Amino acid sequence: NAGVMQNPRHLVRRRGQEARLRCSPMKGHSHVYWYRQLPEEGLKFMVYLQKENIIDESGMPKERFSAEFPKEGPSILRIQQVVRGDSAAYFCASSPSGGFNEKLFFGSGTQLSVL
């Protein structure tokens, strides 16, 4: 049973380009969460999605960032017109059903570097 799969592992973009980060949850998991980790900091919640629905996007920056989790395929975190401050590790996590005492299973992350 494969874990949470994220790709790419590393992504380099120039300022102004778009970044697309993909996350495939664990098999049987229908809840996906995106977190951002800045250097030497803890993870910060960005968004929580179920299939075709955004449940909580309270941690998403108001502009340039969007996320989706379509009926088929992986969840996508999209960053438009990237800036240097977007450089960070982006982690995706999944859980089976969003239950109270469920663990989150994290992917290996995508390291985004903006030149």
Of 17, 20, 26, 105, the one binding other proteins by CB under 8 A: 105
User: Given the DSSP bridges, would you call strands 31-37 and 105-106 parallel, antiparallel or unpaired?
Assistant: unpaired
Got the DSSP string for 51-98?
Answer: TTEEEE-TTS-SSSEEEE--SSS-EEEEE-S--GGG-EEEEEEEESS-
Near other proteins by CB under 8 A: residue from 68, 87, 98, 113: 98
Contact map string, positions 61 to 90, toward other proteins, x by CB under 8 A: ------------------------------
> Does 108 participate in binding other proteins (rule CB under 8 A)?
yes
Q: Which is nearer to other proteins, 13 or 31 (CB)?
A: 31
